[in-house]
Amino acid sequence: MELKDQALIVTGGASGIGRAACLALAEKGANLIVADFNLDGAEAVAKEVGALTQDRGGKAFAYKVDVSKAEEVEALVEFAVEKLGTLNGMFNNAGIGLVKPFLEMDPASYLKVIEVDQHSVYYGLYYGARKMVALGAKGAFVNTASIYGSIAARGSFNYNAAKAAVVSMSRSGALELAEYGIRVVGVAPGFIDTPILGDDPAAKAPLAAQHMHNRLIQPEKVASVVAFLFSDAASAINGSTVAVDDGFLSFKV
Ligand code: NAD
């Protein structure tokens, strides 16, 4: 149990990559706060985790949060310490997309994605790290970036900018927090089979073709990397962003 008794927060835990990460982290022994805008979904995942870990008395609590609001992320961190007794890190993962041609990318559409996908990661690092340092707790932050943190997708000026910032914040967060025994790393998924991609198979096929295995990646494949990144086995991975993209960034179809 590499993450035995680690107290971790997962944002966007109600669905997709976040849900799969909750299950993988709990399987390695972590206790969790399943945080999401969608409280019903978070409660369902907390229940799933509870069932998976009842033999060892594992803990999982659902929490409703809008990660784009600083004060709500601060309150989430307080809730975690109240329920779990300490804090050893966060999976800053909640995110959205909003695709529009650039000439229609008005400030509201731009800022919506920047606030949810980018500012949320700063809030998580800031409030989470301050609390951990105050408690003398060690651990790690894992931040969900994207392949579009390195290259651009058409129609996603907002998303590309936010995810590039997540790659950068993972680097500078690592630099600032290493002296406190806190690592910060990013994970950059390719096309993962989650609700964020919609449910039109015709739209998904060209995405799958961007991968070496010509299929979408299952969220469990990202979750197992995330669980590894939180563990001591990954203690030499610091500030970098790890691609889980089935070769997307390495080849051209
Ligand atoms: P998903 O839609 O299944 O899950 C996203 C979760 O985030 C949902 O449960 C949603 O309720 C929650 N959320 C959205 N806005 C929120 C807010 N303001 N506050 C709190 N929770 C909020 O999608 P997913 O694919 O699991 O996405 C998880 C992360 O992975 C996102 O950051 C996304 O950008 C990133 N990502 C996904 C893919 C992919 O292909 N699926 C690829 C690269 C990166």
Q: Is the pTM above the cut of 0.90?
A: yes
CATH class label, 7-244? alpha beta
Residues 107, 96: Cα–Cα separation, whole Å: 16
- Where does residue 39 rank: exposed (0-12), middle (13-18), buried (19+ CB within 10 A)? middle
What are the structure tokens assigned to 17, written together? 């990559």
Closest residue CA from atom 10 of ligand 1: 12
| Residue 2, pLDDT above cutoff 90 | yes
pLDDT tens digit string along 183-221?
999 999 999 999 999 999 999 999 999 999 999 999 999
Instruction: Give the model's confidence band at 251: pLDDT under 50 very low, under 70 low, under 90 confident, else very high.
Output: confident
Residue 38: predicted pLDDT? 98
pLDDT tens digit string along 25-53?
999 999 999 999 999 999 999 999 999 99
Domain boundaries, the chain: 7-244
Instruction: Give the model's confidence band at 252: pLDDT under 50 very low, under 70 low, under 90 confident, else very high.
Output: confident
Instruction: Give the model's confidence band at 1: pLDDT under 50 very low, under 70 low, under 90 confident, else very high.
Output: confident
Residue 159: active-site member: yes
Expressed in angstroms and rounded, the spacing between residue 116 Cα and the centre of ligand 1 is 10
- Region 56-67: mean pLDDT is 97
Ligand 1: residues with CB < 6 A are 11-12, 14-18, 36-38, 41, 65-68, 93-96, 116-117, 144, 146, 189, 191-192, 194-197
Residues 223, 30: Cα–Cα separation, whole Å: 13
Residue 145: predicted pLDDT? 98
Q: Which of 110, 122, 159, 180 is catalytic?
A: 159
Expressed in angstroms and rounded, the spacing between residue 11 Cα and the centre of ligand 1 is 9
- Region 151-173: mean pLDDT is 98
